[in-house]
Amino acid sequence: MKINNSVPPEAIELYGAVKAGKKTADTGAAAQSSTSVKVNLSARAREIDEMTRAIGQLPDVRDDKINDVKKSIGNGTYNVNPGDIAGKMLDEIA
């Protein structure tokens, strides 16, 4: 069996076109990859981006809720409904 170092002419032509930056039907995507890309976002996508950034700036801990629960516990008015807790636990499992 003889193994030679021949390269198909199509591959040489394609390599030359990509290297030269020519846009052909077969190499357009490869040639365009080296240029800058412009992305236009829809108004809805921009709104979602703004909301995501705003949510990211919110604190992880809501001190107002924690203080309300502490006051309720201190006053003896904090009630826990076991049925609600069990229902939410089952909802998480399902």
Mean pLDDT in consecutive groups of 10 residues from the start of the chain, 94 residues: 62 66 54 72 90 89 92 94 94 88
Ranges of beta strands (E only) in 1-54 are none
DSSP reduced 3-state for 25: coil
Structure tokens at 20: 């030269």
Domain around 52: 43-93
Residue 23 inside a domain? The answer is no
Residue 37 included in any domain:
no
Give the containing element (helix H, strand E) for 75.
helix 63-75
Q: Tally the domains of the chain.
A: 1
Q: Is residue 33 part of a domain?
A: no
Q: Flag whether 62 is in a domain.
A: yes
Residue 35 domain-assigned (yes or no): no
Report pLDDT for 49.
Answer: 92
In angstroms, the CA 56 to CA 53 distance is 5
Give the pLDDT of residue 75. Answer: 95
Asked, for residue 53, whether it belongs to a domain, the answer is yes
Q: What is the pTM of this model?
A: 0.33
14 domain residue, yes or no = no
Residue 19 lies in a domain: no
Res 58: pLDDT? 86
